[in-house]
């Protein structure tokens, strides 16, 4: 359906076959030849066996999502061929090793062909481990996709560079055999790319961008408990912790993780924790403590399919209400939801800035799709010029009558001091307190001065919510102004919407996209303006109850009746959004 060069390579097999490494390498064929790429990883909560696949999409224009079609399918087993071959586009191929399984030609879609490659046989020349045969497939696919063998040599060298020379040589030899084998017998697929389109691009996951964004913002402390799809935030940080001077603490549980981060932030370093819904649920009480003690804190919640353990390796946007409501009582919070890797980097930096400026927790909502999938990007997407102010080196401002850590101010923001700084001793507390931090929750509670103090403290903290709202940017309206239809989405759903938008607007329709990447506090006026000026709307969300729709109705009174909701754990494909949008455009009414 796209009018520009666009190519989909999918590889599938069982866990343990090395599918993710193959898939990532295919994505790099694109980025190293200067194309945009998107790498979708589909795996299961098993370490061996099962069915896993990886889709690498290359594109001459920005690849916002995994797209809609397969041109080269590399099937490690029959199950992969059965599941994915029906989605082969015209001119596409199914690459398989006939020694593993045979696939009847009459089960192939019209206009596609089989490309048998004796990969196991080729690898046996070098080693008995069947894992090596993947390189033969890689060689074959490099040719079928239109790329020179040299690109693959570079990728293999990087993949195996740290291993023994012998291993690299085996892989290079097998890959070359695969490449030559198909070159002698086959032609590239119809949509094959021409090489060397431009400067090589980066290939990065959302979690890597988040971790790097945190470090760029000055984060020096990450406490985390492993949970898919948030764990790779910790992996990137841990890999770089010692050289960057960041303490990465794997905690005994999420309760410890968030409380450690609060302790570190209170003591004067920028701190973060990252988790998924189950772990975030455990963090709820401490989140309120960060609000009450006015401790800056960034919490990454990378959502997966719920409820409960749900589908641990699948995507959803089901935690919005949880994030909005986490914690007893009212306290100010912000929720940011970046839509792509570049936004993930910048939103994380923004989260730290907001947390620090307003001394309150900020949630960064990601999801499996953004966190674990790969996207191409340019170096300029990740500027590293920011110099975070040195918190502990700053002398706290003096306040009348002693140090008023919770001094009433017009903005609600009070002066901070850190343990160790001379002359500012105070006690912070999760109980309600006065300006000095003294409890008003026990012997003073219910006595008139304390009643008034409680009201003032509440208002002081909540003023920060209005301050944040004013400081935050309004959501972007992407695409043409005065559209016939406005699509509304948040977070990583933006990817498939942006791809769909390109398609929808290619036939003269006018569709635009209200991307809510700053979910809370809601810029109610700006959101309302964007929505009342459009004839039709379509809400696209990956959850059952249209949670963003509910928030928008609550904050603006505007109902978004046309909805495309998905809760099967699978990513949005641009085509399903296009189809639904066309339906809405064609229908009468709003």
Partner 1 sequence: MTTTQTAMEGVAGKALPVVVGKSDTKPTWCPGCGDYGVVAAVERALKTLAIPSHEVFIVSGIGCSSNLPHFLSSYGFHSIHGRALPVASGAKLANHALTVIATGGDGDGYGIGGGHFIHSMRRNLDITYIVMNNEIYGLTTGQASPTSEMGHKTKSTPLGVIERPINPIALALAAGATYVSRGFSGDVKHLGDLIANGIKHRGFSLVDVLSPCVTYNKINTFDYFRQRLYKLEGSAHDPSNLVSAFEKAQEWGPKIPIGLFYQTDRPTYEELEPALRNGPLVQQPGGLRGKEHLLDEFV
Chain positions 399 to 428 lying near partner 1, rule: CB under 8 A, are 399, 401-403, 418-428
Give the DSSP letter of residue 436.
T
127 or 267, CB closer to partner 1? Answer: 267
Phi, psi of 23 (to 5 degrees): -60, -45
Report, in Å, the least distance between residue 401 CB and partner 1.
7
Binders in 517-556 for partner 1, by CB under 8 A: none
Report, in Å, the least distance between residue 477 CB and partner 1.
30
* Part in contact with partner 1 (CB under 8 A); list of ranges 42-50, 354-362, 377-385, 495-503: 377-385
Report, in Å, the least distance between residue 200 CB and partner 1.
6
Find, among 360, 215, 204, 232, the residue nearest to 302 by Cα: 232
Binders in 223-242 for partner 1, by CB under 8 A: 223, 240-242
Report, in Å, the least distance between residue 281 CB and partner 1.
16
Find, among 582, 588, 587, 589, the residue nearest to 487 by Cα: 582
Strand, coil or helix: 263: helix
Report, in Å, the least distance between residue 19 CB and partner 1.
20
Report, in Å, the least distance between residue 290 CB and partner 1.
10
Strand, coil or helix: 310: coil
Q: Is 212 in the site for partner 1 (CB under 8 A)?
A: yes
Among 46, 105, 131, 384, binds partner 1 (CB under 8 A): 384
Among 58, 178, 218, 279, binds partner 1 (CB under 8 A): 218
208 or 534, CB closer to partner 1? Answer: 208
**357 Cβ contact partners less than 8 Å away, ≥ 6 residues apart:** 413, 468, 471
Strand, coil or helix: 565: strand
* Peptide bond before residue 229 is cis, with ω within 30 degrees of 0: yes
Transcribe 435-460 into DSSP letters. Answer: TTS-B-SSTTTTSHHHHHHHHHHHHH
Binders in 28-47 for partner 1, by CB under 8 A: 31-32
122, 178 in Cβ contact below 8 A? yes
Report, in Å, the least distance between residue 203 CB and partner 1.
6
Find, among 476, 475, 587, 499, the residue nearest to 538 by Cα: 587
* Part in contact with partner 1 (CB under 8 A); list of ranges 59-67, 114-122, 244-252, 523-531: 244-252
Report, in Å, the least distance between residue 357 CB and partner 1.
16
What is the end-to-end Cα distance of the chain in Å, rounded?
27
Among 266, 346, 461, 463, binds partner 1 (CB under 8 A): 266
379 or 455, CB closer to partner 1? Answer: 379
* Part in contact with partner 1 (CB under 8 A); list of ranges 34-42, 189-197, 282-290, 365-373: 282-290
Q: Is 270 in the site for partner 1 (CB under 8 A)?
A: yes
Among 21, 44, 281, 430, binds partner 1 (CB under 8 A): 430
Transcribe 137-188 into DSSP letters. Answer: HHHHHHHHTT--HHHHHHHHHHHHTTS-HHHHHHHHHHHHHHHHHHHHH---
Which helix (H) or strand (E) is 335 found in, with range? strand 334-336
Find, among 282, 270, 283, 276, the residue nearest to 237 by Cα: 270
389 or 557, CB closer to partner 1? Answer: 389
Strand, coil or helix: 361: strand
293 or 302, CB closer to partner 1? Answer: 293
109, 85 in Cβ contact below 8 A? yes
Mask for 453-492, x = binds partner 1 (CB under 8 A): ----------------------------------------
Q: Is 253 in the site for partner 1 (CB under 8 A)?
A: yes
Among 388, 415, 550, 569, binds partner 1 (CB under 8 A): 388
Tokens of residue 49, six digits: 């066996």
Rounded CA separation 97/99 (Å): 5
Transcribe 75-102 into DSSP letters. Answer: ESSHHHHHHHGGGEEEEEEEEE-TTT--
Binders in 61-100 for partner 1, by CB under 8 A: none
Binders in 284-343 for partner 1, by CB under 8 A: 285-286, 289, 293
Among 151, 259, 342, 562, binds partner 1 (CB under 8 A): 259
Binders in 179-208 for partner 1, by CB under 8 A: 200, 202-204, 208
Among 7, 29, 172, 262, binds partner 1 (CB under 8 A): 262
Rounded CA separation 552/540 (Å): 13
CA distances from 161 to 175, 192, 360 (A): 15, 28, 45
């Amino acid at each position: 359906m796209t009018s520009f060069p666009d190519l989909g390579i999918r590889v599938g097999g069982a866990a343990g076959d090395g599918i993710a490494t193959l898939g990532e390498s295919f994505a790099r064929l694109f980025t190293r030849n200067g194309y945009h790429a998107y790498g979708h990883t589909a795996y299961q909560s098993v370490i061996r066996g099962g069915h896993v696949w990886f889709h690498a999409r290359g594109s001459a224009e920005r690849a916002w999502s995994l797209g809609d079609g397969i041109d080269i399918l590399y099937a490690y087993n029959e199950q992969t061929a059965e599941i994915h071959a029906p989605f082969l586009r015209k001119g596409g191929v199914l690459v398989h090793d006939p020694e593993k399984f045979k696939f009847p030609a009459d089960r192939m879609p019209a206009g596609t062909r089989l490309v048998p490659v004796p990969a196991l046989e080729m690898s046996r020349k070098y080693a008995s481990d069947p894992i090596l045969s993947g390189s033969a497939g890689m060689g074959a696919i490099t040719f079928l996709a239109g790329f020179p063998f040299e690109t693959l040599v570079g990728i293999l060298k990087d993949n195996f560079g740290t291993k023994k020379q012998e291993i690299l040589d085996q892989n290079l030899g097998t890959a070359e055999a695969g490449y030559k084998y198909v070159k002698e017998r086959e032609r590239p697929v119809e949509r094959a790319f021409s090489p060397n389109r431009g400067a090589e691009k980066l290939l990065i996951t959302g979690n890597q961008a988040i971790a790097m964004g945190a470090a760029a913002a000055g984060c020096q402390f990450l406490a985390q408990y492993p949970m898919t799809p948030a764990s790779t935030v910790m992996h990137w940080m841990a890999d770089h912790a010692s050289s960057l001077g960041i303490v990465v603490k794997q905690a005994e549980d999420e309760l410890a993780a968030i409380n450690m981060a609060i302790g570190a932030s209170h003591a004067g370093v920028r701190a973060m924790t990252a988790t998924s819904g189950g772990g975030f649920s455990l963090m709820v009480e401490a989140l309120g403590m960060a609000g009450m003690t006015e401790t800056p804190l960034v919490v990454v919640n990378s959502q997966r399919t719920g409820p409960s353990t749900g589908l641990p390796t699948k995507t959803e946007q089901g935690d919005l209400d949880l994030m909005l409501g986490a914690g007893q009582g009212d306290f100010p919070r912000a929720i940011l939801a970046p839509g792509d890797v570049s936004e993930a980097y910048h939103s994380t930096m923004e989260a730290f800035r907001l947390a620090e400026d307003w001394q309150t927790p900020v949630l960064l909502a990601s999801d499996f799709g953004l966190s674990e999938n790969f996207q191409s990007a340019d170096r300029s997407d990740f500027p590293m010029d920011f110099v975070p102010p040195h918190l502990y080196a700053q002398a706290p401002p003096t306040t009348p009558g002693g140090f008023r850590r919770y001094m009433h101010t017009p903005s609600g923001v009070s002066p901070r001091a850190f343990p160790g700084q001379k002359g500012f001793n105070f006690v912070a507390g999760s109980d309600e307190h006065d300006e000095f931090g003294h409890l008003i929750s026990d012997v003073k509670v219910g006595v008139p001065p304390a009643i008034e103090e409680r009201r003032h403290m509440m208002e002081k903290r909540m003023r920060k919510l209005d301050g944040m709202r004013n400081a935050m940017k309004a959501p972007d309206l992407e695409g043409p102004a005065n559209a016939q239809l406005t699509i509304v989405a948040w977070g990583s759903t933006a990817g498939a919407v942006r791809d769909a938008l390109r398609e929808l607007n290619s036939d003269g329709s006018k569709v635009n996209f209200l991307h809510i990447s700053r979910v809370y506090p809601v810029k109610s006026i700006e959101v309302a303006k964007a929505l009342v000026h459009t004839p039709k709307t379509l809400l696209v969300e990956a959850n059952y109850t249209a949670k963003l729709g509910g928030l928008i109705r609550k904050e603006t009174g505007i109902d978004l009746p046309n909805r495309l909701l998905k809760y099967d754990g699978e990513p949005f494909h641009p085509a399903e959004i296009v189809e639904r949008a066309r339906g809405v455009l064609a229908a009468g009414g709003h």
